[in-house]
């Protein structure tokens, strides 16, 4: 039981990193990133491939983060030229293309067969559950650091300006400031967080394949951002926890309801995500933690 809870907590914290990153991009800066899973995948594969080649974990994690952040640079540049809704579809297309490349370039990624045997985090601590606990603690530390840095960023003049950009970009330009620089930076920061989450994911699950990086993951994170409340870091934390409860809860629910297969449960989960996106957008766009309307 304890090891199950630790595992759930680990996945929850991975989602939290993803949510904090997307919240910075969308909640605070107004960037509609529908391709978040791409950077999650890039971080995961980069770190996995390096460690499978013999690299130690820590530098591989860092490289995963950096590569994901750098990959966001061209996408970020695009955001300068596109209004919100086009950025959304372009980032979506980017994510689908990334997954396609992972699937097709078998020489690098082994395609749909995936990469098994990825080194565990804290492998040296053996199989007694200590490795998982140590992973959990590390993840908690990472999340605390990410949240702390984010809160600091948001309260700074930089944070003021990105929120101004979200509220009215034309006015920002009329005041002589260039939104472009910040938008690209924010895009890269959020992507780097996603890359870090991806590295943790790869080395926790120890097997990754393109199927784990469907666009559905992006929208799980969107649900977490929306439910928690865009533009509030507390919202990102709360939202990702609610998301985990939902995902894990649905596994239990299936055990309670006879006659529902795992595949059907996946459909139910998708339906609930879709419904939640619709209902929260209409009735509670500011989310649970939000006071002000977005």
Q: Which residues, including other chains, have CB under 8 Å from residue 288's CB and lie 6 or more apart?
A: 227, 228, 229, 235, 238, 239, 242
Residue closer to other proteins (CB basis): 123 or 156: 156
Q: Should residue 217 be labelled a site residue for other proteins when binding is judged by CB under 8 A?
A: no
Which residues 165-184 are close enough to bind other proteins by CB under 8 A? 166-168, 170-178, 182
CA dist 269 and 248 (Å) reads: 10
CB 266, min distance to other proteins, A: 8
Which residues 121-150 are close enough to bind other proteins by CB under 8 A? 149
- Among the listed ranges 83-91, 117-125, 131-139, 205-213, the one in contact with other proteins (CB under 8 A) is 83-91
Residue closer to other proteins (CB basis): 8 or 294: 294
How many residues form the binding site for other proteins (CB under 8 A)?
70
CA dist 19 and 22 (Å) reads: 5
Q: How crowded is the C-beta side of 217, counted as CA atoms within 13 Å? A: 24
Q: Should residue 270 be labelled a site residue for other proteins when binding is judged by CB under 8 A?
A: yes
Judged on CB neighbours under 10 Å (0-12, 13-18, 19+), 279 is: exposed
User: What are the backbone dihedrals phi and psi of residue 115, each rounded to the nearest 5 degrees, phi first?
Assistant: -115, 105
Q: The tokens of 127 are what?
A: 């199989």
Nearest to 277 by CA among 235, 241, 236, 243: 243
CA dist 46 and 67 (Å) reads: 7
> Hunting for tokens 């995963």 — which residue is that?
64
Q: Should residue 192 be labelled a site residue for other proteins when binding is judged by CB under 8 A?
A: no
Q: Should residue 113 be labelled a site residue for other proteins when binding is judged by CB under 8 A?
A: no
CB 86, min distance to other proteins, A: 5
Q: The tokens of 47 are what?
A: 């770190």
User: What are the backbone dihedrals phi and psi of residue 168, each rounded to the nearest 5 degrees, phi first?
Assistant: -165, 100
Q: Should residue 278 be labelled a site residue for other proteins when binding is judged by CB under 8 A?
A: yes
Please answer whether residues 190 and 22 qualify as being in contact, where contact means their C-beta atoms are separated by less than 8 angstroms. yes
Q: Should residue 292 be labelled a site residue for other proteins when binding is judged by CB under 8 A?
A: yes
Q: Should residue 108 be labelled a site residue for other proteins when binding is judged by CB under 8 A?
A: no
- Among the listed ranges 117-125, 197-205, 240-248, 264-272, the one in contact with other proteins (CB under 8 A) is 264-272
Q: Should residue 259 be labelled a site residue for other proteins when binding is judged by CB under 8 A?
A: no
Among 103, 138, 209, 250, binds other proteins (CB under 8 A): 103
Q: The tokens of 280 are what?
A: 């929260």
CA dist 273 and 134 (Å) reads: 32
- Among the listed ranges 2-10, 61-69, 195-203, 273-281, the one in contact with other proteins (CB under 8 A) is 273-281
Give me the residues that bind other proteins (CB under 8 A), please.
32, 34, 78, 80-86, 88-90, 92-94, 96-97, 100-101, 103-104, 149, 152-153, 156-161, 163-164, 166-168, 170-178, 182, 185, 216, 219, 222, 226, 231, 263-264, 266-271, 273-278, 281-282, 285, 292
């Amino acid at each position: 039981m304890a090891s199950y809870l630790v595992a759930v907590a680990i996945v929850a914290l991975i989602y939290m990193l993803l949510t904090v990153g997307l919240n910075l991009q969308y909640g605070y800066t107004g960037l509609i990133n529908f391709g978040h899973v791409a950077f999650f995948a890039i971080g995961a594969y980069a770190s996995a491939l390096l460690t499978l080649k013999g690299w130690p974990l820590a530098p591989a994690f860092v490289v995963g983060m950096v590569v994901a952040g750098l990959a966001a640079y061209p996408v970020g540049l695009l955001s300068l030229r596109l209004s919100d809704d086009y950025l959304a579809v372009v980032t979506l297309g980017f994510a689908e293309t990334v997954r396609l490349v992972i699937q097709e370039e078998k020489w690098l990624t082994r395609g749909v067969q995936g990469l098994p045997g990825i080194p565990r985090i804290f492998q040296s601590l053996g199989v007694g559950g200590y490795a998982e606990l140590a992973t959990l603690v590390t993840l908690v530390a990472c999340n605390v650091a990410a949240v702390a840095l984010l809160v600091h960023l948001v309260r700074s003049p930089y944070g003021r300006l990105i929120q101004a950009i979200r509220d009215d970009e034309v006015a920002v330009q009329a005041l002589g400031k260039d939104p472009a620089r910040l938008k690209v930076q924010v895009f890269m920061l959020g992507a780097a967080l996603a890359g870090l989450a991806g590295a943790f994911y790869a080395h926790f699950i120890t097997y990754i394949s393109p199927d784990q990086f469907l666009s559905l993951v992006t929208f799980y994170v969107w649900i977490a951002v929306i439910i928690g409340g865009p533009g509030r870091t507390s919202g990102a934390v709360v939202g990702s926890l609610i998301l985990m409860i939902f995902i894990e809860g649905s596994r239990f629910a299936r055990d309670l309801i006879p006659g529902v297969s795992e595949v059907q449960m996946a459909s139910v989960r998708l339906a609930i995500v879709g419904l939640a996106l619709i209902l929260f957008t209409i009735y509670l766009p500011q989310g649970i933690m939000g006071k002000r309307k977005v």
